[in-house]
Amino acid sequence: MLLRLAEERATGALLRDHGTLYLVEGRIVHAESPVAPGPDVLLTAGGRLARGRIAAGELEICLLGALFDAAFFALAPGGPARFRYGVAPWTGTVRPVSATDVERETLRRRLLLDSVWPYPAVDTAPVVPRPASPGQTVTARQRALLAQADGVRTPAQLAWALGRPAFHTLLDVRRLAAAGLVATPHEPTPYEPAPNETASDPDRDPDRDPAPERAQDQDPDPDPAPARDPDIALLRRLRDALEAHL
């Protein structure tokens, strides 16, 4: 839809569940999302204004960075989309950006996130720090994030608190998850047979049975030990950590 609007040289607002893109003659001039901090937050909470006046070039970079950050969430897959012709942003606009550039950067960022830690559940879950392993180090940027992680704030809330772009915060959280430095949500487990399924079911996988079938004349174990599923998230973190050092 965005590319079609660009071809039409449309002017107005493309509304999505997680943000809005504003177009002028088919080019994007502003983007906003409740997930992504705006330029005002990036400049104030991020500490850039503490140095006094900022150069015009630095301001433009900040505005463009905020545009791409909000556009990433506004263009998230799924959900409805509608376009309101003639609507302009209430804030100022930046140098127009082509729809193809925004689309390309959005796709690049999705691939980057998945290459670091391909389990997006961490993106919306509270960030819960875990103790580092002996000899394991973190960057100054990661330490600042972990210091704000109270087990309640999500990555988006941490981005607002730190005055950082939301995408960069997601990337930091996924890197921390890959390193085992934050708790990861429980990953979906493989299919498990329902209790009423029997071995006579031809579609049943015997390898997934909780225990081998007993002979009918054999007394059942009066107190069988409960089966424990492996920690899937831990195994994946170990695998990814090993691959990263190969």
The SS3 call for residue 129 is strand
Burial bucket for residue 36 (CB in 10 Å: 0-12, 13-18, 19+) = buried
Same domain, 66 and 115: no
What is the per-residue pLDDT for 48? 63
Which residues of 10-81 form beta strands (DSSP E)?
12-16, 19-24, 27-32
User: What φ, ψ does residue 176 adopt, rounded to 5°?
Assistant: -65, -35
108/115 Cα distance (integer angstroms) = 11
What is the per-residue pLDDT for 94? 78
188/222 Cα distance (integer angstroms) = 31
176/170 Cα distance (integer angstroms) = 10
What is the per-residue pLDDT for 72? 98
Same domain, 140 and 55: no
The residue length of the chain stands at 246
Residue 225 counted as domain residue? no
Residue 128 counted as domain residue? yes
Contact of 198 with 132, CB cutoff 8 Å = no
What residues in the chain have per-residue pLDDT under 70? Answer: 46-52, 92, 187-246
What is the per-residue pLDDT for 187? 61
134/182 Cα distance (integer angstroms) = 15
Same domain, 46 and 79: yes
Burial bucket for residue 70 (CB in 10 Å: 0-12, 13-18, 19+) = buried
Residue 201 counted as domain residue? no
Same domain, 84 and 141: no
Q: What angle do CA 24, 30, 96 make, to 5 degrees?
A: 55
Same domain, 55 and 137: no
Any bridge partners for residue 158, and if so which? none
Cβ-based neighbours of 68, under 8 Å, separated by 6 or more: 31, 97, 102, 105, 106, 167
Q: Tally the domains of the chain.
A: 2
User: What φ, ψ does residue 238 adopt, rounded to 5°?
Assistant: -65, -40
pLDDT single digits (tens) 16-46: 999 999 999 999 999 999 999 998 898 887 6
What is the per-residue pLDDT for 236? 56
Same domain, 89 and 129: no
Domain hosting 148: range is: 109-187+234-240
Same domain, 181 and 146: yes
DSSP state of 23: E
